[in-house]
Amino acid sequence: MNAPLNGPVPVIAIDGPTASGKGTIAQRVATALGFHYLDSGALYRLTALAALRARVPADDAVRVASVAATLPVAFPDGRIELAGEDVGAAIRAESISEAASIVAAHPPVRDALLERQRAFRQPPGLVSDGRDMGSVVFPDAILKVFLTARAETRAERRYKQLMEKGLPASLPTILHDLRMRDARDSGRAVAPLQAGAPEAVLDSDDLTIEQVVATVLDRYSTAVRFQASGRSAGAGGSMLQD
C-alpha cells in the first residue's frame, strides 16, 4: 500500500454530497497512509465566514471572490485559523454551511481557490475531500471515490454530530436543507457534484466507518498495483476514472 515510486505525487480524491462522511473517511485514510489531508470544504466555509464578517453578501460573486483570493487562512497542527483565530467550530455552524454552498457555486470563487487547493499536493501523497476533487482539482488522481448515502441517513448523521457538540438541531430542517444543497451542488453550472464512473461510487448506507476506510485503502492498493504494472485504467482499473 505504499505510494507509487514514479510519476506525480499520488492523490486520493474523495467526493460526495453533504454529510456523506467524506471528511472523516479522508482523514482516516490519510492517517493510515501517512499522507497529507485537504478538507476543501473548509476553504469554502472559511470564505463564507470571512465574507459574512466583512458584510459581503454570499450571492455577490465578485466581492466574495475577492475575499477568497486574499483569505488569511492557515492550518497549523490540525487547527483551522482565519487571521490567526481558531475558527474550527465556527465554520461548522449550519448557517455557514448554507452560505458555503451558495459561495461555492460562484465560478470566480472556485477559480480563486483552485491553486490554493492544488498547493496541498505534496510528498508523500494527499487525500482530499470535497465535491470536485476528482473532476476539477485533481483530475489525474490515482484513485477517485464518490462516497454517498441516502439523504435520510446523511441527515441523521449530521443531526447526531450537532447534538453531540451541544448545538441546536432539528432533523426535519437538516433533511430539508441537505436536499436543497444536494440540488444546488448538482445543478450548478461550474464543477457540479457528480459521481463520474459507476466504479467510483461507494455507498456507505450499510457500512461502518472502519469498513468504508478499509474499502478505500483496498481500492488504493489496487490502483497502485495497476500503476506499477504499467497497465492503463481502461484495462480493468476504471475506478481511476472520474
- Per-residue pLDDT tens over the stretch 38-87: 989 899 999 999 999 999 999 999 999 999 999 998 888 778 999 999 99
CA angle 43, 47, 48 (to 5 degrees): 120
**DSSP state, 54?**
T
Residue 231: pLDDT band (50, 70, 90) is low
The average confidence (pLDDT) of the chain is 87
CATH superfamily of 1-35+124-242: P-loop containing nucleotide triphosphate hydrolases (3.40.50.300)
Residue keyed to cell 471572490? 65
The domain locations on the chain are 1-35+124-242, 40-122
Write down the pLDDT at residue 106. 93
Q: Into which CATH architecture does domain 40-122 fall? A: 3-Layer(aba) Sandwich (3.40)
pLDDT above 50 for 5? no
Please state the pTM of the whole predicted model.
0.81
Q: Which residues pair with 13 in a beta bridge?
A: 128, 144
- Per-residue pLDDT tens over the stretch 103-155: 988 999 999 999 889 999 999 999 999 988 998 999 999 999 999 999 999 99
Q: Which of residues 105 and 234 earns the better pLDDT score?
A: 105
Q: Which residues pair with 73 in a beta bridge?
A: 82
